Structure 1
């Protein structure tokens, strides 16, 4: 701050120095003016100027030190009180800018909320013709046409479902309801939804469920399992997907293991990042990079952890770890 203050007052210091050097020069050139008394006066003036400079430094920098230490937010309660006219100008400018930013932020928040509500409403409205379309597809006699239409219908359904959960994600804590549920029922319901896709790709399921009951939120757990299954189906062909549950170290473990194309080791640490698809198959336009990102966020809210093991050309294993029984107190207290 001292260096900044001296830089701010450099013109005044330069002028003061030049003025006194000019007085000394005049006394030296004019024989009628005694040099020694002038040098003495200049010396005293210099001492007084230094004392004045130190005093003004403390007074003038106090306000700016408080501004520098202030948190960068819209809270004006911790704004330093101005003493000088220039400080009042700064204070007035900060207050006006803050009020303008608050109004802009409120308008943006209102617009965002309105757009979110409109999108949620649109998604719910689209579900009605989508359901009617599914009933119409079921009445088709052409098996090949029915299979292709069902697959495309499923893609639209999954995209809408993902968008719906993405919009609800910021308020997931308000939507949770923890209860004991049948894990097998949730998994079978999700497999049934994805059945047409699995038939088209020649994919089957090997179920090894030693644990069939868990404590969690049914809707969001179903969403997590749906994302894990769709991710395995998307990158697998003509193979079985192993779904396994068991107890390890007092924790319920759910694994989804496929024999698909796998994930490169350099991509493993990034697969849960928002918008990340792949560095190996970067031209894959079907991938959105949102499925696993939303899965990770939902799992965190349910106190679940997700681990991934994968090897290119061998397959991928997604491991979902439920909390220990002693940790359920944290969940049920929500």
Structure 2
């Protein structure tokens, strides 16, 4: 900041030095002027000028120092109060722009929340006829048509569920309720929801839950597992999907392993990116949102998701749950 201050005041400093040199030059060429007295005056002037610079530096820089350290947020309390007239002009403009930005941000947030509420309301309304449709399908006697309609119904149901959680994900911190959850009923409920699809593809499940309890949010954990199971079923053919959990010290691990087509190595770093779909097996029906949302929800729950895959040999998604003491800050929300 000192360097910038001197650069800012360089014209005044150069003017002062020029006048002092001019004074010495005049005393040098004019013998009637005592040179020793002039040198003494220049020395005193220089000392006074240095003290003056130090005083002005301490008075003028605090405002700009705080402005430099300001993170650009809407909180102006981090900026020191302006003293000089030019500082007041800067402060006034910053406050004016910040107030405008606050108004725009508030309006955008209200509009976004309204849009989210309208969409959530629409999704809940759609679920009513969807439930009635499922009951009608269940009463069909033709097993082939019943299986086809059930599969299409399940696709719509999963897409609506994904859209529902996509709109909620930005407000997930306000929607968390961390508690002890039994894994077995949660996992079997998600398997049951995919039963018709699995029967159609000849897919079974092998479940081995050595660790049956985790600390998490039930509905968001169910959503994460649902996305992993949906992907496993979608990209598998007539094979078993293995779901197993274990506990090592205070940490719980859950794995979902399929023996489907696997993921190409070049796609692995991008599978959790928003909107990403496979480059080797393009699927026009895929939205590229499932794993992205699962990753976002997992981060809020302090769950780590790791993936291992070999093309043609299957994929393993592993969830690493946090230790209980890591939830201290999360449970205070």
Q: Displacement of 1:57 after TM fit? A: 4.5
The answer as to 2:84 corresponding to 1:84 is yes
Aligned to 1:271: 271
Map of 1:164 onto structure 2: 164
Q: How much has 1:315 moved relative to structure 2?
A: 0.8
Residue number in structure 1 paired with 2:193 = 193
Residue equivalent to 1:4: 4
Q: CA 1:177 to 1:27, structure 2 compared with 1: closer, same or farther past 3 Å? A: closer
**TM-score, structure 1 length as denominator?**
0.77
Name the CA distance, whole Å, in 2 between partners of 1:81 and 1:211: 58
Counterparts in 2 of 1:277 and 1:47: CA distance versus 1, 3 Å: farther
Query: Which residue is equivalent to 2:65?
Result: 65
Cα separation, partners in 2 of 1:251 and 1:79, compared to 1, 3 Å: closer
Match of 1:292 in 2: 291
Distance 1:329 1:94, change over 3 A: closer
Q: Is the 8 A contact 2:277 2:286 kept in 1?
A: yes
For 1:307, the equivalent position in structure 2 comes to 306
Larger displacement relative to structure 2 (233-242 or 314-323): 314-323
Q: Quote how far apart the aligned CAs of 1:34 are.
A: 7.4
Change (3 A) 1:193 1:42: same
Deviation at 1:96, TM superposition (A): 1.7
State the Cα distance separating 1:161 from its structure 2 match: 0.8
- Deviation track 1:196-215 (CA, whole Å, cap 9, x = no partner) reads 32233332223344455555
Q: Establish whether residue 242 from structure 1 lines up as the match of residue 251 from structure 2.
A: no
How far apart, CA to CA, are the structure 1 residues paired with 2:5 and 2:327? Answer: 57
Task: Give the 3 Å change call, closer, same or farther, for CA 87–270 of structure 1 in structure 2.
Answer: same
Question: Matched residue of 1:77: which SS?
Answer: helix
For the Cα contact (< 8 Å) 2:23–2:38, is it kept in 1? Answer: no
Q: CA RMSD in A?
A: 3.9
Using the alignment, how far apart are the partners of 2:24 and 2:191 within structure 1?
A: 97
Q: TM-score, normalised by structure 2?
A: 0.77
Q: Per the alignment, do residues 78 and 223 of structure 1 end up closer, same or farther by CA in structure 2, a change over 3 Å counting?
A: closer
Following superposition, the deviation at residue 295 of structure 1 comes to 2.2
Task: Give the SS at the match of 1:237.
Answer: coil
Measure the CA separation in 1 of the matches of 2:218 and 2:117.
24
CA distance in 1 between partners of 2:67 and 2:215 (Å) = 51
In the TM superposition, residue 224 of structure 1 has moved relative to its aligned partner by 2.1
> Which residue pairs with 1:231 in the alignment?
231
Q: Distance in 2 between matches of 1:149 and 1:206?
A: 27
Partner of 1:176 in structure 2? 177
Per the TM alignment, residue 301 of structure 1 is displaced from its structure 2 partner at its CA by 4.5
**Number of aligned pairs?**
328
Counterpart check, 1:102 vs 2:97: no
Give the Cα separation in 1 of the matches to 2:188 and 2:31.
108
| Stretches of structure 1 lacking an aligned partner (at least 5 in a row) | none
Deviates more, 1:259-268 or 1:79-88: 259-268
Q: Specify whether residues 105 and 303 from structure 1 end up closer, same or farther in structure 2 by C-alpha distance, changes over 3 A only.
A: closer
Distance 1:37 1:174, change over 3 A: same
Gaps of 5+ in 2: none
1:111-159, CA deviations, whole angstroms, 9 ceiling, x for partnerless residues?
A: 2222221121111111112222223333445544443332222122111
- Cα distance between partner residues in 1 of 2:53 and 2:250: 71
Distance (Å, rounded) in 1 between the aligned partners of 2:206 and 2:102 = 56
Cα gap change, 1:6 to 1:301, in 2 (>3 Å)? closer
Maintained 8 Å contact 1:20/1:42? no
Q: Does 1:202 align with 2:202?
A: yes
Please name the residue that 2:121 is paired with. 121
Q: Would you say the 8 A contact 1:276–1:289 is kept in 2?
A: yes
- Using the TM superposition, name which of 231-240 and 144-153 deviates more: 144-153
Equivalent residue runs for 1:13-162 within 5 Å: 48=45, 51=50, 56-162=56-162
SS in 2 for 1:233: helix
